[in-house]
A and B are shown apart, each in its own frame.
Chain A
């Protein structure tokens, strides 16, 4: 009689490894959090164009692979920089940056589990002019729901919801910039 134990054991290990890999959380992808200009978008005030840069991002969290997907400071900063670049707001260098942006990620409201996962990001955006005066101070709450159709695995669905929420937040911030009156 052939001993089946090693074969069964290897199958069990393979299944366990797959489960662990599928269940590992990964950090939000900056590209997926970035926004690009749409044909229907209103223009930004002229003084802001090619004159903005991101100075500081705080409040983000590193992702623990055994816990839940999060958004870290570097990822948020990269996403905002990408978005400024693609919408024509980014300054070419530090010298031409007349409007500095500070971001405080207050936190992400995430569900513990669920089919449809709704994440709401709460972010404070602060924009300072060349004299150091704050001219935009906005607290933005941005919800986004990822469904089972977007991703079957829960940790991946949560990551998509995080990314979508930050994308919506940056879009809402840009809408505030469009309404602003910079000197």
Chain B
């Protein structure tokens, strides 16, 4: 009886642990060379704002993961809690990608002789 309940529950649990999908911002993008100085500066400002938000979210996810690992010692329920640990690193990946994109845009602005 117990096996009949536990087996589908475990299967469900294991299927539900896939990482969240993320597509980071590409460093170099088509049309970069055609960007005006104003557009470059605007993109850098927008990226910096978004990066700061992702860094904040990443810290919250990391804190939640630590709490889930600690709660993992609770019998039975601990397995489910521990399995819900988020190792997808979505926020970290996005933040780092935006930082690299800004590095590329800054270099581009320098090449174009844009005012700082």
Contacts and interface: CB of A to CB of B under 8 A. Distances in A.
Contact of A137 (B15, B28, B82): B28
Given A111-B17, A113-B14, A139-B26, A124 B100 contact: yes
B26 A120 contact: no
Given A59-B96, A113-B13, A141-B24, 19 more contacts: A104-B100, A106-B92, A110-B88, A110-B89, A111-B17, A111-B87, A112-B87, A113-B17, A113-B83, A114-B14, A114-B15, A114-B18, A120-B19, A122-B93, A124-B100, A137-B27, A137-B104, A138-B27, A139-B100
Given A122-B24, A137-B27, A141-B24, A112 B93 contact: no
Interface in B76-102: 82-90, 92-93, 96-97, 100
A126 B97 CA distance: 13
Interface string B8-33: 00000111011111111111100000
Contacts of B26: 139
Nearest to A58: B96
14 contacts: A107-B92, A109-B19, A109-B22, A110-B87, A112-B19, A112-B83, A112-B86, A113-B14, A113-B17, A114-B15, A120-B22, A124-B27, A124-B96, A139-B28
Contacts of B22: 109, 120, 122
B100 A109 contact: no
A14 B89 CA distance: 36
Contacts of B90: 109
Contacts of B82: 112
Nearest to B21: A109
Nearest to B99: A104
Interface of B: 13-15, 17-28, 69, 82-90, 92-93, 96-97, 100, 104, 107
B57 to A, nearest CB: 13
A110 to B, nearest CB: 4
Query: By DSSP majority rule, is chain A's interface helix, strand, loop, or mixed?
Result: strand
Interface of A: 59, 67-68, 104, 106-115, 118-120, 122, 124, 126, 134, 137-139, 141
A101 B65 CA distance: 34
Nearest to B23: A141
Given A114-B14, A114-B17, A109 B89 contact: yes
Nearest to B15: A114
Contacts of B85: 112
